[in-house]
Structure 1
């Protein structure tokens, strides 16, 4: 499959799933969730939707579990708007890049603070 077609499909799925989440899936366990990325395999059979989850750790786990439970519904809704012979199998995964970047930011802040306390200004 052409890379351009795969990228367009990834962006389309990202927009559609984001729209579904904004309209609200009926599961009350789904908290504040943002679709950050979508990866579709070259044969268009599998799509992994990466989501950024907010809230306490238990809320994040519950949201991700609810999204995984709703994957079939999301796939059927996508099937109504996608013009493909086969709608990709949907899986949800947590995007931890935001948590990781916040951790790095915290470490850098601590280093800067230590340097200032020790009088090592650069």
Structure 2
């Protein structure tokens, strides 16, 4: 359970990182559309886990590696944006958000289920 302070800081980072990815998509990430889906921050605010979703990218793993390679530059751009609102600029760890793929797999499982009709409904 995150504290209010962690939640507020996470939202700030998510908003600013989203803008950074939007503004720098062409020159840094080969035109891939990157969405920041979630950010979780450690209690000391020194580490942020950033979950990313990639659109218009053929290889998500390669895109993630490209983001990680530019990690210091991204952190620097974030620092320029939040320097007046935060004392600590957190270290950024990037992860692929695979929620959409998990949801699609679960939907597929539900579609493949063969649920027999309830016999009570037939009798009435």
Task: Please give the range of the TM-score, normalised by the shorter of the 2 chains.
Answer: 0.7 to 0.9
8 Å CA contact 1:31–1:54 kept in 2: the answer is yes
Q: Structure 2 CA distance, aligned partners of 1:22 and 1:100?
A: 25
Could you list the runs of 5+ residues in structure 1 that have no partner in the other structure? Answer: none
Q: Structure 1 CA distance, aligned partners of 2:96 and 2:80?
A: 25
Which moves more between the two structures, 38-47 or 76-85? Answer: 76-85
1:43-54 to 2 correspondences below 5 Å = 43-54=44-55
1:59-70 to 2 correspondences below 5 Å = 59-70=59-70
Could you list the runs of 5+ residues in structure 2 that have no partner in the other structure? Answer: 119-124
Q: Structure 2 CA distance, aligned partners of 1:31 and 1:63?
A: 8
- Could you tell me which residue of structure 2 aligns to residue 98 of structure 1? 100
Structure 1 consecutive aligned stretches of length 4 or more whose deviation exceeds 3 Å: none
TM-score between the two structures when normalised by the length of structure 2: 0.80
Change (3 A) 1:59 1:29: farther
- Aligned-residue CA RMSD (Å): 2.0
- Could you tell me which residue of structure 1 aligns to residue 117 of structure 2? 121
TM-score between the two structures when normalised by the length of structure 1: 0.81
Change (3 A) 1:28 1:71: closer
**Matched residue SS, 1:21:** helix
Larger radius of gyration: 2
Q: Structure 2 CA distance, aligned partners of 1:55 and 1:104?
A: 23
